[in-house]
Amino acid sequence: MNLFTPAQTAENYAAAGRTKTSAPLLRLFLPGMLAGFFIAVSGAATNTSIHTIENVGIVRTVCGLLFPFGLAMVILTGAELFTGNTLLVIPVLDGQATVRAMLRNWGIVYLGNAAGAMLTAAGCAFSGQFAYSGGQLAVFTMRLAAGKCALSLPNAVILGVLCNLLVTAAVLLSLSAQDLAGRVAGAYLPVAFFVICGFEHCIANLYYIPAGLFAKTVPAYAALAAGQGIDLSALTWTNFFLKNLLPVTVGNILGGVLMGLVFWYCHGAKRAKKE
């Protein structure tokens, strides 16, 4: 078979988690930046592809077809993604890592992801990449970011939970395969589902919302949005952090930890008890 069983996947991830949680700072931060870049360019690609499309169903489907390759790049290059690393609860439950080491990994990787994603957002906003369609890509980016900043707290948390249930499922499915095609396919479908449904991913939002905030500081882009009567009052750094990033991050943690708990209980607990 060219496939690990769920029990083998749980065992393999528990062993890999021991390395993840004990890695030096730079060996986490730099791969974290790389993952942030991969997720950000996936967001940039989807925005560029859909910014002139009006039909919502087509928009969500195109995003779902394109965005998942970002997670595939993360997994295949060995980059470190915070949302995927919420599965480190598995090696903690397995006795191969401590809670403190898990939290250290989360903190360093999150900062690396944020740096990679926000630098990509700044590069796109200030390099002229948003000038497509006479600046309409910039307008679309700002409108999307403003919408994310206007989410209610409960909605942001719940959408974050649903998102990371699927992201962590994608990680586990990808790691259950032993060849390139299987690993990409495993990562692809669950992420496509979360994108099509419009669930919230904190690292993706570290591109989407800062990209809109940076675009808002460019006078030509701000004038275009104002001329079209688009309300950008919700698009502020305060709303970004308090109304989106914080609750979505909490939701992503809850969803990822829940997936890890269920997966380990079903497929790793008996083996760990015997050992």
Nearest to 244 by CA among 118, 163, 159: 159
pLDDT of residue 108: 98
pLDDT of residue 274: 65
pLDDT of residue 268: 80
Task: Report H helices in the chain.
Answer: 6-22, 25-50, 56-66, 69-77, 82-85, 89-93, 99-126, 132-149, 153-175, 180-197, 202-216, 219-227, 237-239, 246-267, 269-274
**Looking at this protein, which amino acid is placed at residue 253?**
I
Nearest to 21 by CA among 111, 76, 117, 90: 90
CB neighbourhood size of 237 (10 A): 12
- Integer Cα distance of 85 and 260 in angstroms: 10
pLDDT of residue 272: 61
CB-based contact 90:266 (threshold 8 Å) = no
- Integer Cα distance of 266 and 275 in angstroms: 16
CB-based contact 23:91 (threshold 8 Å) = no
Q: Which two tokens stand for residue 255?
A: 């969803």
Single pTM value for the model = 0.95
Beta-carbon contacts of residue 56 (< 8 Å; ≥ 6 apart)? none
pLDDT of residue 186: 94
pLDDT in tens, 40-72: 999 999 999 999 999 999 999 999 999 999 999
CB-based contact 249:202 (threshold 8 Å) = yes
pLDDT of residue 2: 83
Give me the average pLDDT of each 10-residue run along the chain (275 residues). Answer: 89 92 97 98 98 97 97 96 98 95 98 98 98 97 98 98 98 94 94 98 98 97 96 97 98 98 89 64
CB-based contact 140:51 (threshold 8 Å) = yes
pLDDT in tens, 24-46: 999 999 999 999 999 999 999 99
Nearest to 91 by CA among 28, 25, 20: 20
Could you say which DSSP state residue 23 is in? S
pLDDT of residue 269: 74
- Integer Cα distance of 161 and 150 in angstroms: 18
pLDDT of residue 35: 98
Percent of the chain whose predicted confidence (pLDDT) is above 70: 97
pLDDT in tens, 117-133: 999 999 999 999 999 99
